[in-house]
Amino acid sequence: MTSSNVAKTLVSLIVVGAILALPKNVMAQSSVGSIVTQDFFNGIINKATGDCPGKSFYNRDAFLNAVNSYGQFASGPDEQSKREIAAFFAHVSHETGFLCYIEEIGGANLDPSHYCDQTRISEYPCNPSKGYYGRGPLQLTWNYNYGAFGNANSIDGLNAPETLAQDAVVSFKSALWFWMENVHSVIGEGFGATTRRINGAIECDGKRPDLVQARVNYYNDYCNQLGVAPGDNLYC
């Protein structure tokens, strides 16, 4: 055996040894890009009707670009990562009609004060000519969310909230920011816990079981597509 072949054999043994050394309950981590394939992404957005504004706005490249700013998203073992991605896109599908909507329906017609929380106005002052209605894959709302998201991403969220509807990368960043701030920490508690974090006050505890079921249906579908069991505690 040549020295080159010996070296290759040693490298192979080291890799195999490292894999075998993993705890039995830990699966190797997959990258987000290898899970959210173009086919998976297209399968979501193609369910939207043909005249949806989101179909020419949202795209996989923008999503993966945004993910680069949130390295902890879906960064766990393979099974956990797939469940988090399935949960994320289940809620995105519910909030935007399969990435159909960029902005809240009728949001532009609301009085600008509608989503201006006066109790936090000293920290996140509302621009009276701007509306903080839902925008992006998770329909970010309220002045305090726009302000905090902007601060975290060097964007003037309070004075230019419309950026979320103009730049697809920023739009996905807004959804990932909200997810990492509010949802990521409970992913291990089951899908129901993520629904409670997103819209629990309106939907959970029997308030809107139809909407909760719709979210669960999307989640189960995406888990099936990704080849992972949905886990327990699906309802909130």
pLDDT digits (tens, 9 = 90+) for 104-163: 999 999 999 999 999 999 999 999 999 999 999 999 999 999 999 999 999 999 999 999
Residue count of the chain, please give it: 236
- Domain assignment present for 14: no
pLDDT at 50: 79
Separation of alpha carbons 224 and 198, rounded Å: 23
**80 and 114 co-located in one domain:** no
**111 and 84 co-located in one domain:** no
**30 and 91 co-located in one domain:** yes
Domain count along the chain: 2
Query: Can you tell me whether residue 33 is helix, strand or coil?
Result: helix
**74 and 141 co-located in one domain:** no
**145 and 51 co-located in one domain:** no
Last residue of some domain: 167, 191, 215? 167
For residues 128 and 112, the answer to whether their CB atoms sit within 8 Å is: yes
pLDDT top residue among 39 and 51 = 39
In the DSSP assignment, the letter for residue 135 is B
**28 and 142 co-located in one domain:** no
pLDDT at 218: 98
For residues 184 and 73, the answer to whether their CB atoms sit within 8 Å is: yes
- Domain assignment present for 52: yes
pLDDT at 30: 63
- Domain assignment present for 160: yes
**138 and 92 co-located in one domain:** no
- Domain assignment present for 13: no
Chain-centroid distance of CA 64 in Å reads: 11
- C-alpha angle 69/73/74, rounded to 5°? 140
Residue range 216-220: mean pLDDT, rounded:
98
Predicted confidence band of residue 47 (pLDDT cuts 50, 70, 90): very high
- C-alpha angle 41/46/51, rounded to 5°? 130
For residues 29 and 78, the answer to whether their CB atoms sit within 8 Å is: yes
For residues 131 and 146, the answer to whether their CB atoms sit within 8 Å is: no
Structural domain containing residue 125:
107-167
Separation of alpha carbons 49 and 10, rounded Å: 54
Separation of alpha carbons 129 and 5, rounded Å: 69
Separation of alpha carbons 231 and 38, rounded Å: 25
**88 and 118 co-located in one domain:** no
**φ/ψ of residue 140, rounded to 5:** -60, 130
**161 and 126 co-located in one domain:** yes
pLDDT digits (tens, 9 = 90+) for 162-207: 999 999 999 999 999 999 999 999 999 999 999 999 999 999 999 9
- Domain assignment present for 214: yes
pLDDT digits (tens, 9 = 90+) for 59-80: 999 999 999 999 999 998 999 9
**111 and 93 co-located in one domain:** no
Predicted confidence band of residue 7 (pLDDT cuts 50, 70, 90): very low
Residue 84 bears catalytic tag: no
Separation of alpha carbons 159 and 59, rounded Å: 26
- C-alpha angle 192/49/163, rounded to 5°? 75
For residues 133 and 145, the answer to whether their CB atoms sit within 8 Å is: no
Residue range 6-26: mean pLDDT, rounded:
37
Q: Catalytic one among 79, 84, 95, 203?
A: 95
